[in-house]
Amino acid sequence: MNLIKKDIIFSDVSKLKGVGKQLSKYLKNRKIEKVKDILLNLPYSETDRSTIVALKKLEIGKIQTIRVLVKKLNFPRIRNLPNKIICEDETGKIEIIYFNSREGYLRKIFPINEWILISGKISYFNKKYQITNPDYVTTLDKEKYVKKIIPKYTLTKGINEKKYRLISEQVIENLPDIKEWYEDDFLKKNNFLNWKENIIALHKTKDGQNSLSKSYKRLAFDEIYANFLVLSENRRKIKKKKENKSFKSVISNMILKSLPFELTKSQKNVLNEINLDLKSDTRMFRVVQGDVGSGKTIVSLLSIANVIESKYQCALMAPTEILAKQHFDLTKKIFFNTKIKIEFLTGKTDLKKKGEIIKDLKNGNIDIIIGTHSLFQKKIDFKNLGLAIIDEQHKFGVKQRSELAKKGGNSCDVLLMSATPIPRTMMMSLYGDMDISKILEKPSKRKKIITLSKPEKKIDELWSFINKHLNLDNQVFWVCPLIKESSFLDYSSAKKKFDIINKKFPNKVGLIHGALDKAEKEKVLKKFLKKEISILVSTTVIEVGIDFPNANLIIIENANKFGLAQLHQLRGRVGRGEKQGICILLFKDGLSKNAIKRIKTLKKSDDGFYIAEEDMRLRGFGDIIGYQQSGIKNFKFANPVIHEDLFLLAERYIKKNSIDVNESKYTFLLKLFDKAEIINQNID
């Protein structure tokens, strides 16, 4: 067969020989759309036909290859009895069974008194080894057709193993040579195979199943590298020249004086970094990472003050209406004795008001606009937007970030606020295009949340405890077990718990879960915020970022099902006001050692960064909060926990070499990991 052409690799699978309409539909059900997806669909196991097994050492149920002498063929003349061929080697006997094969054919492939190779699944019947309908029968000289390692792939309806393997082999055995995107030295030094050999090894050896094998590592590295290329290109496009902002921090100093607290050292440092960026002549593209309650909001408002002083507009966007409203109220309070004009825009703003806002943003009558995603609709134009801030933005991918920067225009600085402390490798992969500021300490007056654990069977002891808190006018979160990644099950468990608690505390309980739409969720949250209800039963949907200053008690059921970082986030919902926060973790009996370790970590520490690192060590990166929504799920092969060395290597390599993503050698790599589109979008 001929080598397949390079460009076929990125064509639809239906371009392959033997792949018709129906089959390509089935393949697409398995997310195999382009030919390259076949390359990246690694075997999960293999059938080893490479070793010849002596008959006395056969293992029942396994596919094995034997070398035997044909002794006798037996063709019964009674219907329904199978044809039987008796063979033997030096160590024993075996019967080869055929149900529907013709005598002539069998006599041909089983010549009496000759040695042959047979490969198939071993069974045991009437105290004899058997192979029924073997996969291969061949003479010794054709050994190489039988003796091999045959990869097994996860399949889907409509495709059988043999069919898929034929397609996959067709591609893998006919790959063209591809020009490397790394230097030879680099490959050699890191013990990497060249790209084509590497793909072949992944499919033809056990390497594809071992994430620490050298060929798997090369693939994972390629993936990380492609990801980093996108980030560095994004950065290059965004960090362009701008007119620098000039201000003397007059307004922000005034605000600072009016605050009932002093900024922490971390807050001051971060504000300083932001101010330097604002004053510089390249655009700011920065993410502020700070644990829940570290005081990011005030930092963003002080930055806004400086940008307003330098005569630009500012936009502050939050992921939900209720959070946006909280920011709006706070902003109005903070700027109350200034002439700064502040407006609020969400999807719910009525049309007339919306029209006015659109007009005033365009003619510059509004200084600060606060709202939800609606802020970045097409219709909205700013007179001179100088700063766009996105709060709690872990739902934002690289692509959305660059779109936002584009929308903001040339003089718009961009600031993201993230409350999800994440480990370094994840940070690199998610925000490698941005500068990073960290708020490491929390306001010192904040009381540390008291974390307790309790077995679920003692749940009845809680009712009087809760009652005591309700009498003190406190509010309570009750987070329900996460049974499985199923919103239906989560819903049913939350609903059941709601019924129980509602009976004990009638008219005081609300329910919120993933099956509610956004508007309904916000309605319940508002009720809780206005203290119309005192207990909020929920699944894990409670929003990040919202201040419920009155909530001081959170009870988390089935706590061992959550990741540490997630528990930490949940716990951060309480103790945000004056009151002492308390978190009670409920557990089922019989906790594993690991689970006990995790509880200890939580009780001991309230440092989100430390907890995130521990979480990743104990559970793997997949469980860290925000993971599902974040761009990191794009990693199919690389794993920030076990491939940390590769992430660091990629970072060093990119920093050391001046890389132009548009060089043609990168096209293949970028297309392979579906990154080409992101790179090509135009940002000015």
C-beta of residue 196 within 8 angstroms of C-beta of residue 625: no
Q: Report in angstroms how near the CB of residue 408 gets to ligand ADP at its nearest.
A: 22
Residue 343's SS3 state is strand
Q: Report in angstroms how near the CB of residue 375 gets to ligand ADP at its nearest.
A: 19
Greatest CA separation found in the chain? 106
The DSSP symbol for 162 reads H
Ramachandran sector of residue 659 (left: φ over 0; alpha: ψ -120 to 50; beta: rest): beta
Rank residues 264 and 320 by Cβ distance to ligand ADP and give the closer one: 264
Q: Report in angstroms how near the CB of residue 419 gets to Mg ion at its nearest.
A: 6
C-beta of residue 588 within 8 angstroms of C-beta of residue 558: yes
Q: Report in angstroms how near the CB of residue 292 gets to ligand ADP at its nearest.
A: 4
Lookup result for tokens 């009750």:
478
Q: Report in angstroms how near the CB of residue 599 gets to Mg ion at its nearest.
A: 27
**Could you tell me where the DSSP H helices lie in 117-182?**
161-172
Rank residues 429 and 569 by Cβ distance to Mg ion and give the closer one: 569
Residue 134 interacts with which of Mg ion, ligand ADP, none, CB < 5 to 8 Å by class? none
Lookup result for tokens 């030879």:
184
Residue nearest Mg ion, Cβ-based: 545
Q: Report in angstroms how near the CB of residue 332 gets to Mg ion at its nearest.
A: 17
The answer for residues whose C-beta is within 8 angstroms of residue 434's C-beta and 6 or more apart is 235, 285, 286, 287, 401, 416
Give the interface with Mg ion as residue ranges (CB under 5 A): 545
Residue 443 interacts with which of ligand ADP, Mg ion, none, CB < 5 to 8 Å by class? ligand ADP
Rounded distance between C-alpha atoms, residue 460 and residue 504, angstroms:
11
Rounded to 10°, the helix 250-258/296-309 angle is 140
Rank residues 130 and 372 by Cβ distance to Mg ion and give the closer one: 372
Give the interface with ligand ADP as residue ranges (CB under 6 A): 261-264, 267, 290, 292-298, 419, 443, 445, 545, 547, 576
The separation between CA 352 and the C-alpha centre of its own chain, rounded to angstroms, equals 40
Closest to 119 (Cα-Cα) out of 94, 91, 152: 94
Rounded distance between C-alpha atoms, residue 42 and residue 48, angstroms:
16
Rank residues 408 and 545 by Cβ distance to Mg ion and give the closer one: 545
Rank residues 339 and 445 by Cβ distance to Mg ion and give the closer one: 445
Q: Report in angstroms how near the CB of residue 416 gets to Mg ion at its nearest.
A: 12
Residue 267 interacts with which of ligand ADP, Mg ion, none, CB < 5 to 8 Å by class? ligand ADP
Rank residues 267 and 393 by Cβ distance to ligand ADP and give the closer one: 267
Residue nearest ligand ADP, Cβ-based: 295
Q: Report in angstroms how near the CB of residue 303 gets to ligand ADP at its nearest.
A: 13
Rank residues 391 and 413 by Cβ distance to ligand ADP and give the closer one: 391
Q: Report in angstroms how near the CB of residue 247 gets to ligand ADP at its nearest.
A: 22
Rounded distance between C-alpha atoms, residue 399 and residue 419, angstroms:
20
Q: Report in angstroms how near the CB of residue 640 gets to ligand ADP at its nearest.
A: 24
Rank residues 134 and 545 by Cβ distance to Mg ion and give the closer one: 545
Question: Residue 217, Cβ neighbours under 10 Å: how many?
Answer: 24
Q: Report in angstroms how near the CB of residue 446 gets to Mg ion at its nearest.
A: 14
The token duo for 7 is 């460009």
Q: Report in angstroms how near the CB of residue 297 gets to Mg ion at its nearest.
A: 5
C-beta of residue 329 within 8 angstroms of C-beta of residue 368: no
The answer for residues whose C-beta is within 8 angstroms of residue 540's C-beta and 6 or more apart is 479, 482, 490, 562, 566, 570
Closest to 545 (Cα-Cα) out of 290, 316, 323: 323
Rank residues 103 and 262 by Cβ distance to ligand ADP and give the closer one: 262
Rounded distance between C-alpha atoms, residue 494 and residue 10, angstroms:
46
Residue 290 interacts with which of ligand ADP, Mg ion, none, CB < 5 to 8 Å by class? ligand ADP
Rank residues 172 and 544 by Cβ distance to Mg ion and give the closer one: 544
Which CA distances in Å does 53 have to 57, 86, 157?
A: 6, 17, 33
Rank residues 41 and 294 by Cβ distance to ligand ADP and give the closer one: 294
**Could you tell me where the DSSP H helices lie in 205-249?**
214-238
Residue 292 interacts with which of ligand ADP, Mg ion, none, CB < 5 to 8 Å by class? ligand ADP
For 426, counting Cβ atoms within 10 Å of its Cβ (0-12 exposed, 13-18 middle, 19+ buried), the class is buried
Rank residues 364 and 577 by Cβ distance to ligand ADP and give the closer one: 577
Q: What is the length of the chain?
A: 684
Residue 263 interacts with which of ligand ADP, Mg ion, none, CB < 5 to 8 Å by class? ligand ADP
Rounded distance between C-alpha atoms, residue 581 and residue 571, angstroms:
8
Rounded distance between C-alpha atoms, residue 197 and residue 172, angstroms:
10
The answer for residues whose C-beta is within 8 angstroms of residue 390's C-beta and 6 or more apart is 317, 318, 396, 404, 414, 415, 416, 417
Residue 327 interacts with which of ligand ADP, Mg ion, none, CB < 5 to 8 Å by class? none
Residue 643 interacts with which of ligand ADP, Mg ion, none, CB < 5 to 8 Å by class? none
The token duo for 557 is 């059921």
Cα dihedral sign for 58, 60, 65, 69? Answer: positive
| Parallel, antiparallel or unpaired: strands 63-74 and 128-132 | unpaired
Rounded distance between C-alpha atoms, residue 95 and residue 87, angstroms:
6
C-beta of residue 169 within 8 angstroms of C-beta of residue 1: no
Residue 316's SS3 state is strand
Q: Report in angstroms how near the CB of residue 376 gets to ligand ADP at its nearest.
A: 21
Q: Report in angstroms how near the CB of residue 290 gets to ligand ADP at its nearest.
A: 5
The token duo for 55 is 């008959």
Rank residues 417 and 535 by Cβ distance to Mg ion and give the closer one: 417
Rank residues 264 and 425 by Cβ distance to Mg ion and give the closer one: 264
DSSP H/E element including 150: strand 149-152
Q: Report in angstroms how near the CB of residue 441 gets to ligand ADP at its nearest.
A: 9
Rank residues 439 and 611 by Cβ distance to Mg ion and give the closer one: 439
